[in-house]
Amino acid sequence: MIRRLTSADHEVCFNLIKNQRAENLFIIGDIEAYGYEQEFQKVWGEFDDTGALVAVLLKYEDNYIPYAPGDFDVEGFAEILRKDPTLKMMSGLKQVTEKFEPYLLEKNQRKRQTYYAKCTKLTTDTKTVDVSIVQQAVPDDAEDLIVLLNSIPEFSNNKMTVERKKRGFEEGVSRSFFIKEDGIMVSTASTAAENSLSAMVVSVATHTNYKKKGHATKCMVKLCSQLLSEEKELCLFYDNPAAGAIYKQIGFEDIGFWMMYTYQ
């Protein structure tokens, strides 16, 4: 049986999704922030014959995220998407989202696949990394962070603004660490979409003139150490296997692929 979830279902819902807290980063964060009864956010659950919750489908604005640790009523959830005239996106773990494809072919779907990795502990090698020069950013550092990211080609289309960066710090959904050399910010690593159980690592970057000094690794180790000490699981997306190898040296492990579908 599939039905809308309410705040009365919160405990049973979190008991299901918290078992994979990094994989369910977005679902956990959206529910903690906005609950179950908002106009722009809805949550459905599938219950088996014993009354146990076995799958969850979250809609935030025009994006759907399904999650199930095992078998679930794919066609039933897909019917919700098919009947929604505002459907624009679906995202989630490949092993879950790929099951929807046969039911949404008429929606003219396009998809993008990225590697998805998580970290629950750092490798032994990171204990020897000297992080003494790494500083944690405060709201007044937001402008320098944006300047650094905008100076790096792969982040040149970054839509983050100084105001949004400051707001993320103040609301506790983001944090950043950085290194300065010659009086300027030259390397950084940040989080986004932080919730009580997990966080996503983003914007790992080093200025071109200061590469190959281990600065990004130092920022990552400092950032990840702090989050893991708070018992949060970490996750990140990456496209480039070479970049993935660097993350794995720190302690990240691949957990599959994250899929993003767009519909017309």
Place of tokens 């990795």: 117
pLDDT at 227 over 90: yes
What percentage of the chain carries pLDDT values higher than 70? 100
Whether pTM > 0.85 for this model: the answer is yes
State the average pLDDT for the chain. 94
Place of tokens 């959206």: 30
Residues 40-57 have pLDDT tens digits of 999 999 999 999 999 999
Tokens coding 242 = 């070479």
Sorted by where each starts, the structural domains of the chain and their CATH numbers stand as 2-107 (3.40.630), 119-256 (3.40.630.30)
Tokens coding 225 = 């150490």
**CA-closest candidate to residue 14, choices 227, 197, 233:** 197
Residues 66-111 have pLDDT tens digits of 999 999 999 999 999 999 999 999 999 999 999 999 999 777 779 9
pLDDT at 157 over 90: no
The DSSP code for 215 is H
What is the band of 141 on the pLDDT scale with cuts at 50, 70, 90? very high
- Looking at residue 105, its pLDDT comes to 78
**Residue 132, number of CB atoms within 10 A of its CB:** 8
pLDDT at 257 over 80: yes
Tokens coding 65 = 């995220």
Name the CA radius of gyration of the chain, rounded: 20
